[in-house]
């Protein structure tokens, strides 16, 4: 929830109380001015600011009205009458907000803010895969662009991926584009998996048995693929009481070696509810900082070299600029938006993940 500040010094005082354990005071002093300006402009315009869990702490804990994961934020924004929606996250997330709120202005506070996973697959890749595996339904992770969602049967999140897979009435399915998320789902459900990719000459190739239950795609998150089983072993050696929690975009080996794996929202809930005092959180490092700020009684070990370069592009400066100049405006052709909406809506109809 955004802070309420009636002056720059009021913003600074509140930010210091919230963030002094993770952000240096000099930085807070500079950022308090921006925070105050953003809050004023947001109220003037009747805007809503959404903050993904991977935003840096001085942004995450100050200006967003809502924080969380990308789909939850887009759904919540669609239910309010606030307009414009400023999405402090990467481009595919802002597109999802536009898919669910076509009548509203959606702004992305960065020129690029891409994603290695979303960039790993195109709509043409999906169409070619459909031709290669006729009749196999296509499940697509929400971390994809709208044109890919538009040629998909149903979307999924990291939280409901297994549930969506179970809902499919077909012996074989395409599960795109995250190689590790699909492998983790296959492992959980006891299904076989093969991975499709583009070969050097651009043709489609398959690693594994093309008759496998799940056909995945060689797309990876450049952040989560960096964590290793050795990172976990080293942390456990140094801190035997550590609870290791990971995101399912990590490799199946890392997920298997963790105490718990779940979406960003589930990882946040896990830390809050767990009786453990010490955690190793294998996901984007700003989320570790955000959890530390909210759980001062818990000790979070950080692997802070692992910052997503795309999420890192969203700054307080650009958030203010987005509100002042209506940049970057997210626009989607209506036929693509409608087709993508159907895939997202089918997933929503399945309901939240049952644990």
117 binds ligand SF4 (CB under 6 A): yes
Q: Using the rule CB under 6 A, which residue among 10, 27, 188, 222 binds ligand SF4? A: 222
143 binds ligand SF4 (CB under 6 A): yes
Find the shortest distance in angstroms from Cβ 97 to ligand SF4.
15
42 binds ligand SF4 (CB under 6 A): no
Q: Using the rule CB under 6 A, which residue among 47, 97, 308, 322 binds ligand SF4? A: 308
Q: Using the rule CB under 6 A, which residue among 19, 55, 77, 90 binds ligand SF4? A: 90
246 binds ligand SF4 (CB under 6 A): no
Region 280-299 residues binding ligand SF4, contact defined as CB under 6 A: 284
Q: What secondary structure letter does DSSP report for 242?
A: P
Find the shortest distance in angstroms from Cβ 92 to ligand SF4.
8
The token pair that represents 118 in the structure block: 């979303």
Q: Using the rule CB under 6 A, which residue among 22, 38, 223, 257 binds ligand SF4? A: 223
**In whole angstroms, what is the distance from residue 162 CA to residue 165 CA?**
5
Within 13 Å of residue 91, how many CA atoms lie on the same side as its CB? 22
Q: Which stretch binds ligand SF4 (CB under 6 A): 114-122, 262-270, 295-303, 347-355?
A: 114-122
How large is the greatest C-alpha to C-alpha distance in the chain, in angstroms?
A: 63
Closer of 173 and 221 to ligand SF4 (Cβ): 221
CA distances from 32 to 2, 29, 38, 266 (A): 13, 5, 10, 30
Find the shortest distance in angstroms from Cβ 7 to ligand SF4.
35
Closer of 222 and 259 to ligand SF4 (Cβ): 222
Three-state secondary-structure class, residue 88: strand
The token pair that represents 101 in the structure block: 């709120």
**In whole angstroms, what is the distance from residue 66 CA to residue 64 CA?**
5
Closer of 42 and 224 to ligand SF4 (Cβ): 224
Number of residues that bind ligand SF4 (CB under 6 A): 12
β-strands 173-176, 299-301: how paired? unpaired
CA distances from 210 to 115, 136, 167, 171, 345 (A): 28, 12, 22, 13, 29
**In whole angstroms, what is the distance from residue 66 CA to residue 352 CA?**
19
Cβ-contact 130, 105 below 8 angstroms: no
Q: Using the rule CB under 6 A, which residue among 13, 83, 105, 116 binds ligand SF4? A: 116
Of 319, 331, 326, nearest to 110 by C-alpha is: 319
Q: Which stretch binds ligand SF4 (CB under 6 A): 11-19, 303-311, 326-334, 345-353?
A: 303-311
Closer of 2 and 221 to ligand SF4 (Cβ): 221
Closer of 144 and 152 to ligand SF4 (Cβ): 144
Q: Which stretch binds ligand SF4 (CB under 6 A): 96-104, 110-118, 233-241, 325-333?
A: 110-118
String of DSSP letters for 288-316: HHHHHHH-TTSEEE--TT---TTGGG--H
Q: Using the rule CB under 6 A, which residue among 61, 104, 310, 337 binds ligand SF4? A: 310
The footprint of ligand SF4 (CB under 6 A) covers 90, 115-117, 143, 221-223, 284, 308, 310-311
């Amino acid at each position: 929830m955004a802070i309420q500040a009636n002056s720059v010094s009021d913003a600074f005082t509140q930010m210091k109380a919230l963030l002094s354990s993770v952000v240096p005071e000099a930085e807070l002093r500079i950022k308090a001015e921006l925070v105050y300006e953003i809050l004023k402009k947001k109220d003037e315009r009747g805007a809503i600011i959404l903050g993904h869990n991977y935003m840096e702490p001085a942004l995450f804990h100050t200006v967003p009205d809502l924080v969380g994961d990308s789909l939850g934020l887009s759904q919540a924004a669609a239910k309010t009458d606030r307009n414009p929606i400023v999405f402090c996250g990467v481009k595919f997330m802002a597109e999802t907000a536009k898919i669910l709120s076509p009548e509203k202005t959606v702004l992305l506070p960065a020129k690029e803010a891409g994603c290695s996973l979303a960039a790993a697959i195109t709509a043409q890749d999906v169409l070619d895969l459909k031709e290669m595996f006729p009749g196999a339904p296509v499940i697509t992770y929400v971390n994809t662009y709208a044109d890919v969602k538009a040629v998909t049967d149903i979307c999924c999140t990291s939280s409901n991926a297994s549930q969506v897979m179970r809902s499919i009435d077909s012996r074989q399915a395409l599960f795109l584009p995250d190689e590790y998320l699909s492998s983790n789902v296959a492992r959980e459900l006891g299904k076989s998996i093969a991975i499709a990719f583009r070969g050097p000459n651009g043709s489609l190739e398959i690693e594994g048995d093309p008759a496998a239950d799940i056909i995945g795609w060689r797309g990876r998150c450049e952040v989560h693929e960096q964590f290793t089983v050795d990172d976990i072993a080293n942390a456990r050696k140094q801190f035997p009481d550590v609870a290791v929690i990971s995101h399912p975009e990590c490799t199946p080996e890392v997920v298997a070696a963790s105490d718990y794996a779940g979406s960003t929202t589930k990882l946040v809930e896990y830390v809050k509810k767990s009786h453990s005092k010490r955690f190793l959180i294998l996901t984007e490092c700003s989320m570790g900082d955000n959890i530390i700020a909210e759980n001062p009684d818990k000790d979070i070990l950080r692997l802070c070299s692992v910052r997503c370069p795309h999420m890192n592009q969203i700054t307080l400066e650009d958030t203010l600029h987005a509100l002042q100049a209506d940049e970057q405006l997210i626009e989607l052709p209506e036929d693509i938006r409608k087709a993508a909406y159907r895939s997202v809506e089918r997933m929503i109809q399945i309901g939240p993940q049952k644990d």
